[in-house]
Structures are given as structure tokens and as C-alpha cells.
């Protein structure tokens, strides 16, 4: 069964723009001038930080549930209604929220987009989510035939295909080459330092999410083939490549990064042209995540888990692809081995993160948003929309691991739970005894 049971994963920008456009038509002109699209168009970390710092401060000052529903919470001044409507739990948090745990939300729609002929890229890193020291993310688009040029970098790269098809290549240290085609729902993994490339295929190229195991990683800070040859003396290049000066003069003088080219031939032709089976890598660097059977399936949805157990090359990134039905809940849980970096593919959801001493923060999430949960922090994710909520959970770890609050409570002697929660034994036995992962609404 496909994990994308809800609406197709069309461009997040198109969906977001359409949603805000419909909302703006219902707002007075003064409100339309400060629409969410205009706000997002600023592409400014400072703007986003200031906006949500103010919302966080308001959350702390709200005091009690009564104050949130009487005149105390009124705002006779200016408001950015489209933005607030997409984040109601931040603007008017539940009374259980308390204190400050730092930023747990950002959106790729706030990030500056680098556009070149052949595609675009933008990123969410530790600069936007200061708590995220272990993971950074990049969202990239390549048109048909266009390349993300040959390069390598200091971080491991894990990727999830969002749209279309691409051809990837990666060279192993033993000199063997891996070439494969990937499409929506597929993964790849490139270890740090391994040279690789990505090329969009027909009919309309591709879009994908890249995840790196360094929080401060910057997509611009990669080792590019074009820049290396441009900054190496010509006589050295002549000696290294065994080429005459006339050929060396043809080499790039500046970076290529993303650039257009022709759509390649078949995968079989590419593999044969590279040297065939004699130079093919025995290691697989791709995985069909979207097509795999669910690791866990309940009435509330399903979870697909990919880590080093079923994708051996992925030793530093573990991930879960979660689908929640309307009203469904990713049960109260925590992860013992890593912080969690989330990417929301479709639908609408809400998450509360719990941290000591007694701090809690609730935020709403939409397609193209990023969520963050500090290591071992308790949390849940709830589908608050009327379509499936689909998102990725990613961890800098070789194994996907979580603790279920329900499972913990049911593994204890009932009198211990009664002493802590004032529940009688009959009530305790209604709590699910096994991990549910996802619970029906």
C-alpha cells in the first residue's frame, strides 16, 4: 500500500500559495497586504524568529485557560491573520503549555531559495533551528536533464524523493560505481566524502529532500568538481589528466552547481557506458521506502521504518515515514538515542514537546514545514485536518528506537501506576499494553 493515501505530493509552494490566496480573499485589504505569502516572501530568519518569539511570549503570559477565552486575549491592533490561522496552537496555546523550550518549527517556505537555470535549492539548518545540532535539511528541484553537479561533502547525505525521477551515481573507495534511477518514495544514502551526482529525468525532472548528519551543514559548502579544476594550475591538470593545453582550456572557470543538460538514455545504457558489471558496486545506495510493506499498521495509520537493519549502508540516519488518518495520533513517546528532525509532506498536524522542568510547547504543522524534537523529549503528533497527515521522522542514528508511554505504564505493576496517576486497575487495563505507534482518533 502506498504511504501517500492522501492528496498527491504536489509542490508544497503551490499548495501553500493556494491556501493563503483563498484565505486572503476573505480578509480586509489591510490584512491582505500582510498576507502569509508576503511574510514568507521576506525569506528572513530574523522576521520568523521575531514573529514566533512574540507568539511564545504571548503563550507564557496567557496565564490560565479563562484568560485565553475572555477579553484578556483580545488584540485590537494589527495581525497577520493568514500566519496566525496556520499556527493556532502557537498564537493561542493550550493551557498545558508552559515555559520556553526553543524553536521546534520552521518552514522551507521561509527559507531563501537559490534559483539557477536547471532548478533551485533552499535549506533549513541549525541557523534556523538552533537546537538542531545533528541534522540539517535541503529541499532541491532539478528540471529534466539538469544536474546537481559532481561533488562530495563532509556530511553523510540521506535523501527522500518527493516528485518525479532522477538518476544518481556514487563512487566507492574501491573504484566501483553505483548507478541507479529513483522515483517518488525512494531513498538514497551517500557516505561523507563519497563523490556523487544527481540528474533529473523525464518528463519533468524531480524534487527531493536531502538530510545531512551535521546541523550546521550548508548546501553551498560542498566540494565541486568545477571549482576544483578552476582553481588548479593548468600545467598540473595537463599532467594529471594526460591532456594537451587545448583540452584543458575547455574546462569550467567557475562553479556549475545546478545546470541544464540533455535527458540521458536508459539506465542499462548508462551502466554499460560506465564499464558494465566489472566496475559495478556490490553495495546498494538506494532503497524503495514508499513501496515497502508498513512496519506497523493500525486503524490510525501506518509507519514505515528504514534504518541500518534493512538499508545497511545508512549507518548514520534512521527514519520513519508516518501516515496518520484524520484524528489519528502518533502516540505519546520519546526516542532514547537521538533528536528528531521532521519534514511534513502533506496534511495538517499539531505537536506538543515536553521538556524538564515542566516545560511544554505546542505548534501546528503544514506541508513543507520542519519540526524538531530534542533528544529524549516526550512528544506526540496529532492529525488535526480532514486528510491524511504524512511526515518523515529522521534521526542521526543507525537504529530507529522509541519508547511508548502506554507500553511503559502497562509493563509496571498496577499499584505503581495507581500511586502515580490515581487510576484504578480497571482504568489502567484500558491503556494499550503494546506499542501502537499510531492510534485511531
214 assigned to active site: no
Residues 361-378 as b or e (16 or more Cβ within 10 Å = b): bbbbbbbbbbbbbbbebb
214 known member of a binding site: no
Annotation-wise, does 153 bind a ligand? yes
Half-sphere exposure of 253 (CA within 13 A, CB side): 2
Cis? peptide before 274, omega within 30° of 0 = no
Highest mean pLDDT among 34-48, 72-86, 421-435 belongs to 421-435
pLDDT at 294 over 80: yes
231 is in an annotated binding site: no
Q: Is the pLDDT of residue 26 over 80?
A: no
pLDDT of residue 44: 43
Region 23-33 average pLDDT: 38
68 known member of a binding site: no
Look up residue 262 and give its DSSP letter.
P
Question: Is residue 196 a known part of a binding site?
Answer: yes
Q: Which of 214, 393, 425, 437 is catalytic?
A: 393
Q: How far is CA 212 from the centre of its chain?
A: 10
pLDDT of 91 reads 82
Q: Which residue has the higher pLDDT, 219 or 109?
A: 109
- pLDDT classification of 71: cutoffs 50, 70, 90: confident
**Is 32 a residue whose pLDDT tops 80?**
no
User: Coil, strand or helix: which one is 45?
Assistant: helix
The answer to whether 166 touches 182, Cβ cutoff 8 Å, is yes
Q: Under CATH, domain 296-439 is a member of which superfamily?
A: Jelly Rolls (2.60.120.10)
Determine the pLDDT at residue 152. 98
Mind giving me the DSSP string for 105-166? Answer: EEEGGGS--EEETTEEEEEE-TTTSTT--S-EEEEEEE-TT-EEEEEE-SS-EEEEEEEEEE
Per the listing, cell 526516542 goes with: 335
| Positive or negative: CA dihedral 34, 36, 38, 42 | positive
What average pLDDT does this structure show over 161-185? Answer: 98
Q: Quick one: pLDDT at residue 69?
A: 65
Domain boundaries defined on the chain: 12-97, 111-287, 296-439
What is the pLDDT of the chain when averaged over all its residues? 88
pLDDT band at 70 (very low <50, low <70, confident <90, very high): confident
Q: How confident is the model at residue 62, as a pLDDT?
A: 45
Whose grid coordinates read 507568539? 55
Checking if the pLDDT of 92 tops 70, the result is yes
Q: What's the confidence (pLDDT) of residue 68?
A: 61
102 neighbors 364 (Cβ within 8 angstroms)? no
Q: Please state, for a pLDDT cut of 90, what percent of the chain lies above it.
A: 78
pLDDT bin (cut points 50, 70, 90) of residue 27 is very low
Q: Is 379 labelled a binding residue?
A: yes
Spatial separation of the C-alpha atoms in residues 239 and 12, rounded to whole Å: 48
Q: What is the mean pLDDT of residues 368-384?
A: 98
Paired sense of beta strands 258-259 and 147-152, if any: antiparallel
Which range, 18-27, 60-69, 410-419, is most confident?
410-419
Instruction: Please give the average per-residue pLDDT across 30-46, as a whole number.
Output: 39
pLDDT tens digits, 347-366: 999 999 999 999 999 999 99
Q: Give SS3 for 363.
A: strand
pLDDT at 110: 95
CB 186 within 8 A of CB 290: yes
pLDDT at 64: 53
pLDDT, average across residues 44-52 = 44
| The predicted structure's pLDDT at residue 10 | 39
Which pLDDT belongs to residue 66? 67
What pLDDT, on the 0 to 100 scale, is given for residue 82?
Answer: 87
Confidence label for 75 from pLDDT (cuts 50, 70 and 90):
confident
**What percent of the chain clears pLDDT 70, i.e. is strictly above it?**
84
The band of 374, judged by pLDDT with boundaries at 50, 70 and 90, is very high
Do the annotations mark residue 86 as ligand-binding?
A: no
> Are 111-287 and 296-439 in the same CATH fold?
yes
What pLDDT score does 316 carry?
98
Class of domain 111-287: mainly beta
From CA 215, how far away is CA 341, in angstroms rounded?
A: 10
Residues 6+ apart with CB under 8 A from 161: 182, 183, 184, 185, 186, 187, 206, 207, 208
CA distance 166 to 202: 8
Please give the model's pTM, rounded to 2 decimal places. 0.85
pLDDT in tens, 1-18: 433 333 333 333 444 444
Amino acid at each position: 500500500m502506498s504511504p501517500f493515501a492522501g492528496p498527491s505530493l504536489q509542490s508544497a509552494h503551490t499548495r501553500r500559495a493556494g491556501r493563503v490566496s483563498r484565505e486572503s480573499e476573505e480578509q480586509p485589504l489591510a490584512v491582505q497586504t500582510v498576507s502569509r505569502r508576503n511574510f514568507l516572501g521576506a525569506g528572513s530568519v530574523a522576521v520568523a524568529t521575531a514573529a514566533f518569539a512574540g507568539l511564545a511570549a504571548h503563550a507564557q503570559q496567557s496565564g490560565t485557560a479563562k484568560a485565553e477565552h475572555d477579553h484578556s486575549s483580545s488584540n485590537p491592533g494589527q495581525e497577520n491573520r493568514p500566519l496566525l490561522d496556520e499556527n493556532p496552537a502557537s498564537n493561542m496555546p493550550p493551557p498545558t503549555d508552559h515555559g520556553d523550550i526553543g524553536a521546534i518549527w520552521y518552514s522551507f517556505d521561509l527559507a531563501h531559495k537559490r534559483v539557477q537555470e536547471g532548478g533551485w535549492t533552499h535549506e533549513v539548518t541549525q541557523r534556523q533551528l538552533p537546537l538542531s545540532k545533528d541534522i540539517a535539511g535541503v529541499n532541491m528541484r532539478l528540471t529534466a536533464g539538469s544536474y546537481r553537479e559532481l561533488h562530495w561533502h563532509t556530511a553523510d547525505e540521506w535523501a527522500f524523493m518527493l516528485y518525479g525521477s532522477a538518476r544518481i551515481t556514487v563512487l566507492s573507495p574501491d573504484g566501483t560505481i553505483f548507478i541507479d534511477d529513483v522515483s517518488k518514495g525512494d531513498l538514497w544514502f551517500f557516505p561523507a566524502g563519497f563523490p556523487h551526482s544527481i540528474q533529473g529525468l523525464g518528463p519533468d525532472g524531480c524534487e527531493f529532500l536531502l538530510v545531512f548528519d551535521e546541523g550546521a551543514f550548508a548546501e553551498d559548502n560542498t566540494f565541486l568538481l568545477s571549482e576544483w579544476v578552476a582553481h588548479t594550475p593548468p600545467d598540473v591538470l595537463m599532467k594529471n589528466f594526460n591532456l594537451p593545453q587545448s583540452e584543458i582550456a575547455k574546462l569550467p572557470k567557475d562553479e556549475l552547481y545546478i545546470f541544464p543538460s540533455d535527458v540521458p538514455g536508459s539506465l542499462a545504457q548508462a551502466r554499460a557506458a560506465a564499464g558494465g558489471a566489472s566496475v559495478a558496486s556490490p553495495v546498494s545506495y538506494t532503497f524503495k521506502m514508499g513501496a515497502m510493506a508498513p512496519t506497523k499498521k493500525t486503524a490510525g495509520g501506518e509507519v514505515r521504518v528504514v534504518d541500518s537493519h534493512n538499508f545497511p549502508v545508512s549507518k548514520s540516519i534512521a527514519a520513519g515515514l508516518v501516515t496518520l488518518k484524520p484524528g489519528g495520533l502518533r502516540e505519546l513517546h520519546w526516542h532514547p538515542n537521538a533528536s528528531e528532525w521532521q519534514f511534513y509532506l502533506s496534511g495538517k498536524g499539531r505537536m506538543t514537546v515536553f521538556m524538564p522542568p515542566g516545560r511544554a510547547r505546542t505548534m501546528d504543522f503544514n506541508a513543507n514545514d520542519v519540526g524538531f524534537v530534542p533528544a529524549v523529549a516526550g512528544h506526540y503528533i496529532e492529525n488535526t485536518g480532514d486528510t491524511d497527515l504524512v511526515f518523515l521522522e529522521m534521526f542521526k542514528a543507525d537504529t530507529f528506537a522509541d519508547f511508548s508511554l502506554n507500553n511503559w505504564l502497562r509493563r509496571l505493576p498496577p499499584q505503581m501506576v495507581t500511586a502515580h496517576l490515581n487510576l484504578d486497575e480497571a482504568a489502567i487495563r484500558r491503556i494499550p499494553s503494546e506499542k501502537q505507534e499510531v492510534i485511531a482518533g
